[in-house]
Chains A and B, each alone.
Chain A
Amino acid sequence: MDLSYGPEYDAFRADLQAFLSQSWPPHGNEADLDARQQQQHFISKAVAAGYMHRNILAKYGGSEQPADPLREAIIGEEMEASGAPWRLGAQGVGMIVPTLLEVGAEWQREQFVEPTLKGEYVWCQGYSEPGAGSDLASLRSTARLEGDEWVINGHKIWTSDAQDASYMFGMFRTEPEAAKHAGISYLLLKMDQPGIDVRPLRQLTGAVHFNEVFFDNVRTPANWIVGERGQGWQVARVNLKYERNLGGGGHTRRSYHALVDLARRTTRGGRPAVEDPEIRDRLAAIECRVRCIETSRMRSLSAVANREEDKVGLSMLVGKLYQTDTSELIVRLAYDLIGSDGLLAPTDATWGIRSQGRSSDWVDQYLFSLGGAIAAGSSNIQRNIIGERGLGLPRDLRAS
C-alpha cells in the first residue's frame, strides 16, 4: 500500500492549483461576460495548459497529453474543489466525442469534435423510447434513406438537454427486415429544423430537465451515419468502455458533510440533533458506507494506474447500486432532521450541486434521489448485471 501520489504528482497538483487561482473566478473584462462565454474562456485556457481534453489529439482540439490516470484524478478533484465550470455536457464530451474518435469518419471528427470540446455544440442523446427502456434494442423510431437523406420518424423520451441542443446522436431502425439488434443505425442530426417537436417533461420534483422528442419526416444527410448501416448497436456500445467510475466518492462525501451540518443546525428535544444517540448511530452507519465508496474509488484508481483493472471488476460493477443506496440513506435521514419542514414544497433546482442547506433544498434532494434507482441503468438492471457478470448466474428467462 502506498497512499501518497508522490512528489511528481504533488508538484502537478500545486501547479494546477496555481492555474486555477489565476483562472477562476474570472476577473477583469472576463467578469462581465455571460456564463457561457466565461465557461468557453476557461476551457480554452485549461486546454492550452494541458488540463482538459487530455487524451484527444491537438488537431481535434484536445491537449494531447500522455495518458495518466493519477493526473486525471487530481484534475477532477481540484476542478471540483475550485468551482470552475469545467464540466461540459456529458452527452457531448462523454459520449459522442469518444464515439466519433473511435469509429467516426474523418470528416465527422473534424466537423464535430472541436466545437463540442469548446462547449459550442451541445448534444442530446436519442436512445430511449416509450416502449424501449431497459430493453433498448426494441426501439421503433425509423430512418428511411431517400436519395441522399435519411427521413426520420418516431418518438424519443428522457432526452436531457434537448431544448438547448444543437445536435442529437441516436439510434434509429433503418433495416426493418433485420433481427432486433441488427436493424439499428447510429445517426447524427440537427435539432433546429422542421419536423422536430421538443416537449418538456416535468419530473416529480417539479423541475424540468428532460424532454420528449417527436420526429415527423425529419431529415439528415445520408453520410451523417456513424459506422455502417445496421451496426448502430455496436457503435452505441463503444462509449460504454469509457465509463470509468473514477470521479465518484467526492460527491457522496460532500452530501454527507452537508448532512452532518444539518444535524448540527436542527434540534431534537431542545438539543442539537447531532447529540441525539439515534441520529449519531445513523450518521455513523452512513459514514461507514461513505468510507466504502471512497476506498472502492481508491481501489479503482490504483488498479487503473497500475494496470490491474481485472482486480476491480466486481467492485466497479456494484458501484452504482451501492452509491444509489447510500445516497438514499443520506436524504432519508436529512428528511427526518428537517421535521415538519418536510411539508414544504421543494426548491425548483437545477442539475448538479444545488443545495444551499435550506429545508426546501433537502425536500428537493429527497425527491430527486428517487431518480437514482431509475436513471442510467435502473437498480434492478444493475442487479441483473451483477448477478450475471459478477456472480455467474444465468440470464433471465425471456419471452421470445
Chain B
Amino acid sequence: MHFGLTEEQDLLQNTVRDFAASEVPAARLREIFEEGSGYDDSIWRAASEIGVTGLFVPERYGGVDLSLLDLALVFECLGEYAVPGPFLGHSLATLALVTGGSDAQRERWLPGLASGEIIGSFAIAEGDAIWDPEDWALRIEGGVASGAKDFVEHATGAKLFVVGASDGQLALVEADADGVSVTATEGLDRTRSLGRVSFDGAAADVLPGGPAAADAVADAGRILLAADAFGGAWKLIRATVEYTLTRVQYGTPVAQFQGVKHQLANLAAEAEPMRGLIWYAAHAFDHIEKERAHSAAVAKSHITDGAVDIARACVELHGGIGFTWECDVQFWLKRALFDRTWLGSPAWHRRRIANLGGL
C-alpha cells in the first residue's frame, strides 16, 4: 500500500520546477503575458530537453514512457509557474496517437512530437464550446474533413491537429494541408493562446482507435487541467502569504490580523485535500479503467472550481494592487479560469458525476 509519490516522482517535479524557475522568471513571464502570444520558443525547447513534450510517449518512439500520473505531476509544476506554451494541446494530441493511433501513424508522428520539433494540438470544441465527444459534428468523409473547431490551443503555431469528428472519431490533419485555415482568437489567459481552425475538405487521416481514445484523452485533459489549476492555486496561496507578511497597515503586517489569517487558512484547507483527487484520478486513468471517467470528472469539477475561488480570494487579499494589470496575481486567476472552462464547466461535470455515480 502506497498512496504517495516515489522518489523518482519527487525528482521529476524538482526537475520541472528547476526548469521553470530558470526559464520563466517573473520578468520573462510578464513579457510573454504582455505580448499575448502564449508561446516562447526557448521555453518550449528547454521543456523538450527535459522530456516534458514526450513524457507519455513509449521509448521506441523517442519518449520517456511514463504514466499519466507523472504527466499530471508535471502539469502541477507548469501551473505553479504559469509556464507559457501549448503543453496541454500537445500532450493530448500525443496521447491520442499513443492510445488510438495505428503503428504507421505512431511511427510517422510520435518521434517528432516527443522531441518537441512538431507541436501538436487537440481540436475538439465546436461552436458554443461542445466538449463532449458524443456531440462532435465535424464530418469526415472520403478522407477529408469539413467543419470548424474553436478554442484550439496554439492554433496558429501547431503543425499537427488531432481533430474530433462525428461519432467520436479522431483524425490527424496537418496544419499546412490544403483546406485548413487558422485564425487567432484573443484569449483571456495570455499564457496559452487559442484560435479557430476551419477545415474545408482538408485531408484527414482517421485514427483506428478513435472513439475509445477520444473519451480517454478527454479524461486525461480533465486531469491535467485540474493539476494545472491545483499547482496555480498553491502558488497563489504562497504568494499571498508572502504579500500579507510584508504589507504593513496599522503598524503591523496585515497577516497578523485574524481576518486575513483565517481567510488564508480557509484557502489552505480547501486546497490541500484536492491533492489526493489528482493522484487518484491519474492512478485510475493508468490502472483502474472503470473508475477513470468518474474520478476525472470529480477532479476537474472540484479543483478547477475551487482554484478560481482561491484566485479570487487572493486578488482580494492583495487589496487595490491585486486589481491592477501590474499585479501578477491575474496570471493565475486567468489560468484558473481557462482550466475551469476548457473541456467543460464544473456544473456540466457535476451532471456527469451524478450520472456516472448512479444517482
A283-B354, A284-B350, A296-B276 are known contacts. Are A390 and B265 too (CB-CB below 8 A)?
A: yes
| Interface size classification for chain B | 35 or more
**Cβ of B274 < 8 Å from any Cβ of A?**
yes
Contact among B3, B252, B295, B354 for A301, CB-based, below 8 A: B3
Q: Which of A237-284 contact B (CB under 8 A)?
A: 260, 263, 274, 277, 280-281, 283-284
The answer to whether B264 touches A387 (Cβ under 8 A) is yes
At the interface with chain A, which of B121-129, B185-193, B207-215, B254-262?
A: B254-262
Chain B residues with CB under 8 A of A388: 261
Rounded to whole angstroms, the CA-CA distance of A183 and B349 in the bound complex is 57
Rounded to whole angstroms, the CA-CA distance of A192 and B253 in the bound complex is 53
Contact among B252, B256, B264, B276 for A391, CB-based, below 8 A: B264
At the interface with chain A, which of B173-181, B277-285, B324-332?
A: B277-285
* Nearest CB in chain A to that of B269: its residue: A318
A299-B275, A393-B245 are known contacts. Are A281 and B69 too (CB-CB below 8 A)?
A: no
Chain B residues with CB under 8 A of A147: none
**Cβ of A182 < 8 Å from any Cβ of B?**
no
A284-B351, A289-B302, A387-B264 are known contacts. Are A5 and B1 too (CB-CB below 8 A)?
A: yes
Chain B residues with CB under 8 A of A2: 1-3
Rounded to whole angstroms, the CA-CA distance of A386 and B258 in the bound complex is 12
At the interface with chain B, which of A193-201, A305-313, A337-345?
A: A305-313
Chain A residues with CB under 8 A of B237: 391
The answer to whether A298 touches B265 (Cβ under 8 A) is no
A284-B350, A284-B353 are known contacts. Are A386 and B3 too (CB-CB below 8 A)?
A: no
Rounded to whole angstroms, the CA-CA distance of A277 and B272 in the bound complex is 29
The answer to whether B351 touches A281 (Cβ under 8 A) is yes
B179 to chain A, nearest CB (A): 41
**Cβ of B266 < 8 Å from any Cβ of A?**
yes
Chain A residues with CB under 8 A of B5: 311
The answer to whether A318 touches B273 (Cβ under 8 A) is yes
The answer to whether A280 touches B3 (Cβ under 8 A) is no
Q: Count the A residues whose beta carbon is within 8 Å of the partner chain — how many?
A: 55
Convert B276-301 into 0s and 1s, putting 1 for each residue whose CB lies closer than 8 angstroms to a CB of A.
Answer: 11011001000100000001001001
**Cβ of A383 < 8 Å from any Cβ of B?**
yes
Rounded to whole angstroms, the CA-CA distance of A47 and B331 in the bound complex is 58
Chain A residues with CB under 8 A of B270: 322
**Cβ of A333 < 8 Å from any Cβ of B?**
no
Chain B residues with CB under 8 A of A294: 276
The answer to whether A292 touches B4 (Cβ under 8 A) is no
The answer to whether A322 touches B269 (Cβ under 8 A) is yes
**Cβ of B241 < 8 Å from any Cβ of A?**
yes
Rounded to whole angstroms, the CA-CA distance of A162 and B279 in the bound complex is 45
The answer to whether B1 touches A274 (Cβ under 8 A) is no
B19 to chain A, nearest CB (A): 23
Chain B residues with CB under 8 A of A393: 241, 244-245, 255-256, 261, 264-265
Rounded to whole angstroms, the CA-CA distance of A315 and B3 in the bound complex is 13
Rounded to whole angstroms, the CA-CA distance of A393 and B263 in the bound complex is 12
- For the complex with contacts A295-B3, A295-B280, A394-B261, 8 further pairs of A-B residues with Cβ separation under 8 Å are A1-B4, A1-B283, A2-B2, A9-B1, A284-B351, A285-B350, A387-B268, A393-B241
Going nearest first, the 6 A-B pairs with the smallest beta carbon separation are A295-B276, A288-B302, A292-B273, A284-B350, A383-B265, A386-B265
Task: Name A's B-contacting residues (CB within 8 A).
Answer: 1-6, 9, 70, 260, 263, 274, 277, 280-281, 283-285, 287-289, 291-296, 298-299, 301-303, 305-306, 308, 311, 314-315, 318, 321-322, 325, 380, 382-384, 386-388, 390-394, 396-397
Task: Name B's A-contacting residues (CB within 8 A).
Answer: 1-5, 69, 237, 241, 244-245, 252-253, 255-256, 258, 261-262, 264-266, 268-270, 272-277, 279-280, 283, 287, 295, 298, 301-302, 347, 350-351, 353-354, 357, 359
